[in-house]
Amino acid sequence: MGGSLWLEWKIALRFLLDNYLQTLLILVGITVGCAVIVFITALVTGLQSNVIARTLGTQAHIRMLPPDEVNRVLPAPLGLLALDLENPRPQRLRSISNWQDVRDVLDRQPDILAVSPVVSGPAMGRRGVARASVALLGIDPVRYLRVVPVADDLIAGRFEIGAGHAVVGKELADDLGLDLGDKLRLDAGEGREAIVDITGIFELGVRELDARHVYLDLKQAQTLLDLPGAVTVIDTKVADIFAAEDIAVRLARLTGLKAESWMATNGELLNALRSQTMTTQMIRIFVGLSVAFGIASVLAVSVVQRTREIGILRAMGSPRGQILRVFLLQGGLLGLLGSGVGGALAWLLVQAFNRFGARLFEILVEPTLIPGAMAVATLTGVLAAAVPARRAARYDPAVAIRYV
């Protein structure tokens, strides 16, 4: 009867308001639970994206390397079993063959955002009597900065690496007493030497990189490393960072090169992130469950308290479905209201964290998080109300009406 839910809304709201203390108590419970869920989700999301941004801010998502050199073992003559004693081959610095073609192929991959061929090898940096072992990186700056934005982390000078210029890390600059405009002698062995001017100093915050990386022009590095026209690695950046491993596998098959994704080289980190996500998920599930049981138990009590009123409504011709809907609505309303307030509370907590916290990183509340949490909480409220509501709807009106 009726068609609309007008009377169901009216009765549900009246019942909730009439027992406002009980309603308020459970609302506080839902609010706290929901605030915890929203806050912890925002916190962990913020933490993880921060850690990932920091990790990936200093390295390529996928590095393409020449395949390892292996010994070629002659097959044993038929019918004979050969026992080989093998020494692994030394992996000399080698070029990627046809790297221009590989670069062009990679450029055309839709899921790869940037491609940067790099020639990289070891050298000794000297200034006066101070020496430090360094890693030379010969790059095309326009391409390279799209993969690793070192220019964003400059603390002095410009990212300018024309012929005879170099950009070095802060640790290296400190070790060798280098400042902008100073000269650095680079010795790549076998008499190949160059003197470069320091045009920029960067600080990535990763000690290993800040102490060793020397960015040079591609051609100058090729000469120093005795690899004219060659590159030793192709760095790439992908759109979906968590697809990096899958893309790496595909690229390896496509190019015949070795493809290392950040996920493979940062296995520990990825593992930590995964366990963190799982822990958060557990917390969310258990807090959500306790909220659901809270709603269910409050409504179960309410159904008993309202037995006689349910009997009266049924006697006056209220169908079972209407009684059912009255209590489902109450569950949904509690979930919606509690999660609305809880979401607002969590948002305030996030703002407080960003403003007064340790400021290690910023938490951003994704725009879908709070509406999503409210939708889930409302649905949870309706589901939690299902058992008490069914019970109410099944009351025998003749018995219920005489309930004292």
Question: Which residues of the shown chain bind other proteins in the complex (CB under 8 A)?
Answer: 1-4, 6-7, 10, 14-15, 17-18, 308-309, 311-320, 322, 396-398, 401
Pairing assessment for the beta strands 213-217 and 130-139 based on DSSP bridges? parallel
Q: How far is the CB of 398 from other proteins (least distance, A)?
A: 4
Shortest CB 386 distance to other proteins, Å? 19
- Give me the least distance between CB of 403 and other proteins, in Å please: 11
Do 196 and 172 form a contact (C-beta atoms < 8 A)?
Answer: no
Comparing CA positions, the residue from 164, 168, 159, 147 lying closest to residue 63 is 147
User: What residues have CB less than 8 Å from 369, skipping those under 6 apart?
Assistant: 38, 41, 42
**Residue 231: φ, ψ to 5°:** -130, 150
Kindly tell me which of 242 and 403 has the beta carbon lying closer to other proteins. Answer: 403
CB of 5 or CB of 282, closer to other proteins: 5
Kindly tell me which of 262 and 395 has the beta carbon lying closer to other proteins. 395
Smallest gap from Cβ 400 to other proteins, in A, equals 10
Q: Is 182 exposed, middle or buried (0-12, 13-18, 19+ CB in 10 A)?
A: middle
Give the HSE-up count for residue 314: Cα atoms under 13 Å, Cβ half-sphere: 21
- The Cα–Cα gap between 39 and 265 comes to 31
Residue number, 33 or 397, with CB nearest to other proteins: 397
Partners of 119 in the β-ladder: 138
Kindly tell me which of 256 and 319 has the beta carbon lying closer to other proteins.
319
User: Shortest approach of other proteins to residue 333 CB, angstroms?
Assistant: 15
Q: From the CB of 304, what's the least distance to other proteins, in Å? A: 16
The length of the chain is 404
Q: Which is nearer to other proteins, 37 or 324 (CB)?
A: 324
Least distance in angstroms from the C-beta of 26 to other proteins: 17
Nearest distance from C-beta of residue 25 to other proteins, angstroms: 18
C-alpha to C-alpha distance for 387 and 384, rounded to whole angstroms: 7
Q: Cβ 21 to other proteins, closest distance in Å?
A: 14
Strand partners, 287: none
- Rank residues 17 and 78 by Cβ distance to other proteins and give the closer one: 17
Beta carbon nearer to other proteins, 165 or 314: 314
Q: Which residue, 170 or 314, is less far from other proteins as judged by CB?
A: 314
